[in-house]
Amino acid sequence: MYARLTFVRQLLPLSGRAYSTTARVPLAFELHKPPKETDKPHAPIIFMHGLFGSKKNNRSMSKVLARDLGRTVYAVDLRNHGDSPHNPTHDYLAMADDVEGFIEEHRLTGTTLIGHSMGAKTAMTLALRSPDIISDIVSVDNAPIDAALLSSFGKYVQGMKKIEEVGVTRLVEADEILKNYEESLTIRQFLLGNLYRPKDEKITKFKVPLKILGAALDNLGDFPFKDPDEVRFVKPALFVRGTQSHYVSDEALPIIGRFFPRFELVDIEAGHWVISEKPELFRRGMHGHLSQRNNC
């Protein structure tokens, strides 16, 4: 058995909203359509990456979900990531507001939100703030709680800043520097995926604004909603956690159930990078949950 499912069926009232005070950012995205068009319309999926990620991280899984479910998948770049614009405000209310703007711009209805890590808290925030425009959510290895990020994220920022200070011209040079901050080749490759060479320049730079994201690390550990007696999302919610990760502990399950009273839990034998570590198990979990949504 690859996963354990926990069902919480209690339905509770919903109230309360929170808003961002910063301007919306238009989000870059990749569109993944089903290989075969059908007469029956299916609701779209918005797929959101984690910190230092981008839409390309979810490209393969987005194509698989579009194929398996017959649903259009929008893999987006959240603000200050990938090809989306930079903005000095980087918190969950602002990112959720960007995604709401994306839904409005593309006139999407019945939307499913899938988010990993930072993207998961963005999905939860939008679902609690604007439940009428969301059909259901999938939160991958994060919970609606205040919890400090791993100290490694601060080290990643230090290493990436060092790479820019040195002014490297080759990827292998950047990797040698980053080895001093992160042992895992897989994680280093993930971080270095943000490197690019500006036109007519020899020195590589990072697409992500390191100063902004470095200053936002404390905010990214927090969750903007504190009281589940004031606001709840009473539609379906799937929480996927890596059993080797610390982000969704057993102690967090009661608060998840209060904010998301219809949540289901899937455990996958993996660390924090659930999707890349165990893509087939993740696909199965998504297929089971989202196929039910297709049939609703």
Buried/exposed 255-281: b ≥16 CB within 10 Å, e otherwise: ebbbbbbbbbbbbbebbbbbbbbbeeb
**78 pLDDT above the threshold of 70:** yes
Per-residue pLDDT tens for 196-208?
Answer: 998 888 999 999 9
Q: How confident is the model at residue 292 (pLDDT cuts 50, 70, 90)?
A: low
pLDDT at site 16: 46
pLDDT at site 266: 93
Lowest mean pLDDT among 7-11, 34-38, 173-177: 7-11
Lowest mean pLDDT among 110-114, 145-149, 227-231: 145-149
Coil vs helix vs strand at 251: helix
Q: What is the DSSP string of 21-57?
A: -S---PPPEEEE--SS--SS----EEEE--TT--GGG
Q: How confident is the model at residue 290 (pLDDT cuts 50, 70, 90)?
A: confident
**1 pLDDT above the threshold of 70:** no
- Cβ neighbourhood burial of 180 (10 Å; 0-12, 13-18, 19+): exposed
Q: What is the helix, strand, coil percentage profile of the chain, to 5?
A: 40, 15, 45
Measured between alpha carbons, how far is 170 from 160 in angstroms, rounded to an integer?
A: 14
Domains within the chain, CATH numbers bracketed = 5-146+222-294 (3.40.50.1820), 151-217 (no CATH)
pLDDT at site 99: 98
pLDDT at site 178: 96
Contacts of residue 41, Cβ cutoff 8 Å, sequence gap at least 6: none
Measured between alpha carbons, how far is 207 from 54 in angstroms, rounded to an integer?
A: 10
pLDDT at site 38: 65
More confident residue, 15 or 46: 46
CA dihedral over 24, 80, 281, 257, signed as positive or negative = negative
Pairing mode, strands 45-48 and 111-116: parallel
- Where in the sequence numbering do the catalytic residues fall? 117, 272
Mean of all residue pLDDT scores within the chain: 89
Measured between alpha carbons, how far is 277 from 271 in angstroms, rounded to an integer?
A: 8
